[in-house]
Each structure stands twice: as C-alpha cells, then as structure tokens.
Structure 1
Amino acid sequence: MKRNIPQDIMELAAPVVEALNYELVDVEFIKEGANWYLRIYIDKPGGISIDDCQAVSEQMSGILDKKDPIEQSYYLEVSSPGLERPLKTERDFVKYKGELVEVKVFQPIDGKKVFEGQLVGLIENKIVISDAGNDIEFDREKVAIVKRAIKF
C-alpha cells in the first residue's frame, strides 16, 4: 500500500499548528530538481509572520526527527498559503463564500478552462460561482484548482 505522506504529515502537524492558534491550510511533499520539499502551509487572521513560521518549524522538526515518517532526505518549509491561496476543504468554501475566485477545469467548457466569479459555495459536491448574476456549477472532480482571485 502506497503511503500518503502529505496526509500523514497533516495528522502530525494539526495538533501542533492548532496549539499555536494557527490554521493548518495544506501540506505538500514534492520534488523540485534534485531535492524533496515538505511544505506546511499555515494561516491566521491578519496573516502569518516569519516568527509564526519559525515556531511551527521548530516544533515540527523535533516531531519529524522523532517519528521519522519520510524515508528520503528533504527540506522542511513552513509558509503562508499566500493571498491567492487554493481552496481545498469544505471549511475553505465556507470561509471564502462571497469572495472573488478563479476556477480552472481540466477539460474546456465551451472553449474555456478558466472561470472567475463570486464564490457561492460548495453545494452537493459542486463548486458554484456567480458571474454577473449567473450561477455556474462545476463538478468538483472536474476542477483542477479553485483559488482566491485578488484584484489590486
């Protein structure tokens, strides 16, 4: 059975992050070039500082050294998800309801792969946005990514 490293790390990181009063947004384990990176994304109202990242990094380093859940060597990074953070969980869809989002689909719909609109929500496993008053529904499994769209 293949291990799901990001899910395993989410389970280890959640109590640490929550104890520090942050939100655990995501975990990714990816190879870039010759190196592997374990990235833990955290957030809090008002945003994340370097000190916040350091606090989580220090605690997670000790846990990861002790539990040793990853066989190969890697770099640990703790970061903010950024302003245009991807929406993944049901909690994200509730939290950002009414905000401007960008939806990218795997296969074009009427010749388009990218849609933008106000997030209505996640309803019966469909992502719903409103564009100029017209609701557009996307089957969740056909969506590559939903992220906040920040206009300056």
Structure 2
Amino acid sequence: MSGKLTELEAMVVPIVEALGYRCWGIEYLSQGRHTLLRVYIDHDDGISVEACAEVSRQVSAVLDVEDPITGDYTLEVSSPGMDRPLFTLEQFADHVGEQAKIRLRVPYEGRRNFQGVIRGVEGDEIILQVDEHEYLLPIDSIDKSNIIPRF
C-alpha cells in the first residue's frame, strides 16, 4: 500500500466511522494532473445519497484543512454496490463461495486477470478457484478485485 493511501486512510476512516458508517475501502488514483480519491462507505441498512453527501462534506472539510493532496482532485463517496470491490483479507473471507474478478499488478503464471470462486484466505493470500485450478494470490499483488453479482 502506498504511503499516500495510508496517510489518507488515517484521515478518512475515523471521519466515516464517527458518522456511523463503515469505511469499506479507499482508492487513490493519481495520473498526471488528474487525481481521484474514491471512498466507499457501507452500513447494515444500506447507503443513501444523503449519506454519501454527508460523508463527502465532512471528508472534504478535513482534506481542505490538512491538504494531503497537492493540486486539484476529485472526491467521490459511494456505496460499494453489488459488484463491490474487495480491499482486505477479511472482506475476501466474508465472501467465500462468491465469484470474483481479480487483476494483479504484475503477471502470475503468465496472466494478470483472474475470474473464479473465492475459496478462502490462507495467511496473506487469497485462494481463488478458476475452473479446476486453485491459485494462491498474495493480497499485496492485487491491483483491483470485485465481486461478480449474481442475479
């Protein structure tokens, strides 16, 4: 995890929790002059547009004072949704048996993209079954992962 992301999490998570929500995860994407900070919030009763606006106002106020992001940035606050991204080992463990798409930062066995069933967590690795093969994917090598919703 990058130092900037760790710094932002240390600022944002307490704000989200103080407002009564869970911070599901944070994405920090900086590409040239375009920076995006995406904050996913969750609650047992779901997330409304008003909840996102409330968290956005509070997080924005703190970021304006602390100024951890140089230059202009876009702040997005949303629920994780049905195709929720997975950030932590605990989140993967909570979704055992579900289909997921995982993209790695660097290729593993010649590929970066995997789609399969989450079978569990072992140490700091995710067990993903793709067809008849099980892969152990280190959480630190995962660039992006999402649940594939079932309808």
TM-score under structure 2 normalisation? 0.78
Q: Give the match for residue 66 of structure 1.
A: 65
Identify which range, 12-21 or 33-42, moves more after superposition.
Answer: 33-42
Q: 1:71 to 1:138 in 2, by over 3 A?
A: same
Structure 1 counterpart SS, 2:70:
coil
Cα distance in 2, alignment partners of residues 35 and 103 from structure 1: 25
Q: Give the match for residue 15 of structure 1.
A: 14
Cα distance in 1, alignment partners of residues 46 and 9 from structure 2: 20
Cα distance in 2, alignment partners of residues 68 and 107 from structure 1: 35
Provide structure 1 residue ranges, at least 5 long, that are not aligned to the other structure.
none
Cα distance in 1, alignment partners of residues 49 and 5 from structure 2: 22
Provide structure 2 residue ranges, at least 5 long, that are not aligned to the other structure.
none
Cα distance in 2, alignment partners of residues 114 and 35 from structure 1: 26
CA contact (8 A) 2:100 2:116 kept: yes
Task: Tell me if 1:30 matches 2:25.
Answer: no
5 Å-filtered alignment, 1:65-144, equals 65-105=64-104, 106-107=106-107, 109=109, 113-130=112-129, 134=132, 136-140=134-138, 141-144=140-143
Cα distance in 1, alignment partners of residues 66 and 133 from structure 2: 47
Shift in Å, 1:56: 0.4
Q: Give the match for residue 147 of structure 2.
A: 148
Q: 1:98 to 1:56 in 2, by over 3 A?
A: same
Shift in Å, 1:89: 0.6
What is the aligned-residue identity percentage? 32
Q: 1:32 to 1:139 in 2, by over 3 A?
A: closer
Deviations 1:53-84 (A, max 9, x none): 11101111221122222221222221223322
Q: 1:108 to 1:70 in 2, by over 3 A?
A: closer
Count of aligned pairs between the two proteins? 148
Give the number of the structure whose alpha-carbon radius of gyration is greater.
1
Cα distance in 1, alignment partners of residues 115 and 38 from structure 2: 28
Shift in Å, 1:123: 0.5
